[in-house]
A = this chain, B = another copy of it.
Amino acid sequence: MTFETLSSKTLYQGKVFDLHQEQVRMPNGKTARLDIIEHPPSVAMVPLDDEGYIWFIRQYRHAAGVEILELPAGVVESGEAPEACALREIREETGISAAEIQLLGEFYLVPGYSSEYMYVYLVKELQPDPLPGDEDEFITVERISVEAAYQMAEAGEIRDAKSIAALLLAAPYIKLSQK
């Protein structure tokens, strides 16, 4: 089942995403107008160090109006492979590089209105190796033990969907490696 696109126009072209408006024909023959955010793919990382800590970041998010505890994440640049993006972003956001990287899963974030599709990686064998961060990001790194991180997530104390979802994807590997 799909919707047939009858027409599409670009309402706005932004730095991070574009806004399209599409006229579609639905399976019942009726037409509808849909507003769609066209967003590049993105990545999120679960950085696990040798001492059993996961590296989170805390950053102010203007769209939310609050500081949020999140896993490191970023947007794939044009021509960049998702895995290369993950290794770059973790250096920019946490100042560490990872010698081991493993794809855990992939998901849409808000499939109702955005094309953004995220790749989630477990990254290990971490060592200090900073890259300059983005000018408009103000980030604090917080190392949280695996046990505390999952307790916080299950208790609803992590208010970011991708971070909670990434922890579930990582659970079979992280629990294995901690036992």
Contact = CB atoms under 8 A, between A and B. Distances in A.
Interface string A89-119: 0000000000000001111111111111110
Contact of A159 (B65, B107, B171): B107
A36 B15 CA distance: 11
Nearest to A39: B113
Interface in A15-32: 15-17, 19, 22, 24, 26-28, 30, 32
A153 to B, nearest CB: 6
A19 B61 CA distance: 16
A37 interface: yes
A161 B155 CA distance: 18
Interface stretch (A49-57, A79-87, A162-170): A162-170
Chain A contact residues, majority secondary structure: mixed
A68 B108 CA distance: 9
Contacts of A116: 110
B17 A138 contact: no
A39 B160 CA distance: 16
A31 B162 CA distance: 28
B171 A22 contact: no
Contact of A165 (B61, B62, B111, B164): B164
B161 A16 contact: no
4 nearest A-B pairs in the assembled complex, by CB-CB distance: A105-B156, A164-B165, A61-B111, A168-B168
